[in-house]
Structure 1
């Protein structure tokens, strides 16, 4: 529940309210600059999902894929603006967390239980996918340079990624991650550029018998592929689930509200998103057609050193991006334990609860390393809500725009398309996982 509204935080036996806002990861430091917002948002949005965009294009097709990608950029850019504006929609009050805004819009209990599970699922799903991505990318990096390393199981590489997260997860708050997040943002731009350049070279010099027909020979398979592709694209626009938490780290005064700095960072991030997503999706599908892998870097084979470098960049990126999405989860866990259960705030609490979370997510990543299916399943299941239509619903509830006005029309278009995406695309993702799981052995 929101510590701003009706937290029942009591110390054991004392009944005294605990104010942990100066210690919790989201609200402990509010001195972020606008460019912190830029690279936090680049890190959050330009994530592992970009690697699956050529595969999504191969499932949907040239024109349909391009339309879905462009519409997703426009809708999520608009809904991002709504969240930035809603952060301080009540004068003198800040909604530092997504569930707090939900409480304001839908009521203390309903709002919390509508928004919190969705946001939490996004963070957890991203952690799982990034665990898989980090392990597979590191393995591919070593395979290209030292082929003998390919004999080692993917599980070992995921485990190494998890071990790194045990250490980095002890960063106390969001602003303490600015260096890690900046490195991750640079890496995301770097591997996107390499994927674009290498795919273009492949398409110009080595492309033979590339087919742009549908991947599946059956009508049912084509429908499932289309749904999974839409979910994959939805997964690529995941930054909304941490946008309020990022904005909470920016200082705000009546004369200079946080939304100005935050929006400047969002605009920069979305320009980067447009350049990276468009170039990777189009070049990867153009070069490999319907034979492109669900991770474009797996399709790229030469030059080996360059593709190895790109995979290592992905590995470094997901280290930082994992933390950006994990920090709100740490905040929720620590807020509950301190303010609800009365546990003492401090390093022992952080070490224990964060380590348990990282270990749990790591174990799941090692059990289900199905990259393409996970993108489609999670992308539609929860990412469509938090990024596509939940901000629009909140805007309609709080701002009550005039019927048939611009914001009313845009919000309802986003809601309708987002709900269709949320309902249909998980079907394709689940089917992709089921097909990929045939003959799979755990911890292979």
Structure 2
């Protein structure tokens, strides 16, 4: 019989046998978390990405990275319990998994890549959500005053509004209680992706003349210069690759699953479901968007005004994007919340400010677990990410660089290396060589994408005016 802090875990139905909150998640809720994490507002920029690559390379790259993500996710799933994937000890966090399986300096490298990227994602989501809020106001302005009207609106007030919403939602204690928010966010992602697909089909059907597309995408000398074609192709490959990257929260998602059936089985089922759904929508939005706009496809055809009418439908699409990003921000912030709160509780275990929880009854919702440190720390974290988003509104280029840097280690390198250790794959065997070649290929793609992101940052700095 196990005791910790006076609590009997073997008889307390609220807790697992290791003392952690009892997990109730299923492959359905895990699928919702995955779709929420993977399908972001970037799905509507895939038309631009396909326009840079063309009809041949565009679909191939989309399919290729969906398969790579599926494969490496399966490898990561089997490492949730170590050394045995079914009966081994649980790894509650990605970093803990790397530490237990690989150890040493690789653990520190993983921590740097994971949390730097999670922090950057929070800033990027704040910027992207504000852009969609601004797009709603501009859409109504264009409808009222004409498409040539100057309907400029500052992003900053909307970033503050988004931050206030995130401060409120950040008080949801942990991942186990985010299922409802994730399911809502997943529904929203289907909504705005479907709106983008529907508007693309309508534009293709009503168009009087054919907009140019090609097998190789944008044409050098006509649409872009040779240098622009190169950088844009790098960025497009990077955008597609990173659009599938959810490994930074995958372990945390798997840790919500019930232990029966085995977590790796449920998580593989959820991963197949989530990535299949994601790839289907990516293909629809990317290919139909390219067919609708040709080589002049905008970066995001709901916020970049590829569509002006019906304005109310464009507004609904952007409302869906905002709601989705509100939920996705919490999904990606939870690992950071848990890291700081877990460390603080271990550092000061007797400090009631850090550890004591007050149960507050909320009508129609239930009992809320209030902790003073959690309220203050999470509020300050949201203020920090929002403040940086306001100071550096072009920060999505920097977030792209952070994503480029973290894609290879977090989505490919660590999962493949841990798989080789977990499965005890012999060195220089066919499987070992194949896994190493996959990792090397993805490293090259990451370097290309990082180069494209750096070029984008340089371009942004040339026209950057603080607080404009």
TM-score (norm 2): 0.83
Q: Which moved more, 1:260-269 or 1:215-224?
A: 215-224
> Which string of whole-angstrom CA distances, capped at 9 and with x for unpartnered residues, describes residues 369-425 of structure 1?
338735642332212321233211221233232467664354223201211122221
Correspondences of 1:368-379 after superposition (within 5 Å): 368-370=392-394, 373-374=397-398, 376-379=400-403
Query: Within the alignment, does 1:345 sit opposite 2:335 as a pair?
Result: no
Please identify the structure whose Cα radius of gyration is greater.
2
Q: Equivalent of 1:47, from 40, 62, 72?
A: 40
Are 2:26 and 2:266, in contact at CA under 8 Å, matched by a contact in 1? yes
Shift of 1:287: 1.3
CA contact (8 A) 2:30 2:267 kept: yes
Structure 2 partner of 1:62: 55
Please tell me whether the aligned partners of residues 61 and 214 of structure 1 are also in contact (alpha carbons under 8 angstroms). Answer: no
1:145 corresponds to which of 140, 144, 151: 140
Correspondent of 2:465 among 420, 441, 444: 441
Q: Which range moved further: 396-405 or 263-272?
A: 396-405
1:258 aligns with 2:263: yes
Match of 2:89 among 78, 85, 93: 93
* Whole-Å separation in 1 of the counterparts to 2:414 and 2:208: 43
Kept in 1: contact 2:82–2:101 (CA 8 A): no
Q: Structure 1 residues 408 and 165, CA, compared in 2 at 3 Å: closer, same or farther?
A: same
Cα deviation, 1:301-346, whole Å, max 9, x if unaligned, reads 2211111111110000000011100001101111222223555224
Structure 1 residues 63-91: Cα deviation after superposition (integer angstroms, max 9, x where no partner): 22222211100000111111111111323
**Paired residue for 1:271?**
276
Distance change >3 Å, CA 106–CA 207, structure 1 → 2: farther
Structure 1: runs of 5 or more not aligned: 1-21
Aligned to 1:11: none
Change (3 A) 1:259 1:385: same
Determine whether 1:291 maps to 2:296.
Answer: yes
Give the Cα–Cα distance (whole angstroms) in 1 for the partners of residues 188 and 289 of structure 2. Answer: 19
Deviates more, 1:117-126 or 1:432-441: 432-441
The equivalent of 2:164 in structure 1 is 163
- Counterparts of 2:392 and 2:28, CA distance in 1: 36
Contiguous gaps of at least 5 residues in structure 2: 1-14, 145-149, 357-370
Report the alpha carbon displacement of residue 156 of structure 1 after superposing the two structures with TM.
1.4
Counterpart selection for 2:447 from 423, 428, 438? 423
CA contact (8 A) 2:156 2:390 kept: yes
One of 364, 380, 386 as aligned partner of 1:362:
386
Is the 8 Å Cα contact of residues 123 and 395 (structure 2) preserved in structure 1? Answer: no
Alignment of 1:119-198 (within 5 A): 119-146=114-141, 150-198=151-199
Aligned residues: 419
> Kindly tell me: are residues 204 and 402 of structure 1, through their superposed partners in 2, closer, same or farther at Cα, counting changes over 3 Å?
farther
CA drift of 1:443 comes to 3.1
Q: What's the counterpart of residue 414 of structure 1?
A: 438
2:25 is matched with which residue? 32
Deviation at 1:161, TM superposition (A): 0.9
Tell me how far apart the structure 1 counterparts of residues 64 and 381 of structure 2 sit (CA, whole Å).
35
Partner of 1:114: 109
* Contact kept? 2:416, 2:439, Cα under 8 Å: yes
SS at match of 2:82: coil
More helix by share: 1
Q: How far apart, in 2, do the equivalents of 1:315 and 1:366 lie?
A: 17
Distance (whole Å) between structure 2 residues aligned to residue 72 and residue 220 of structure 1: 25
Indicate which of 416, 424, 444 corresponds to 1:392: 416
Per the normalisation by structure 1, the TM-score is 0.87
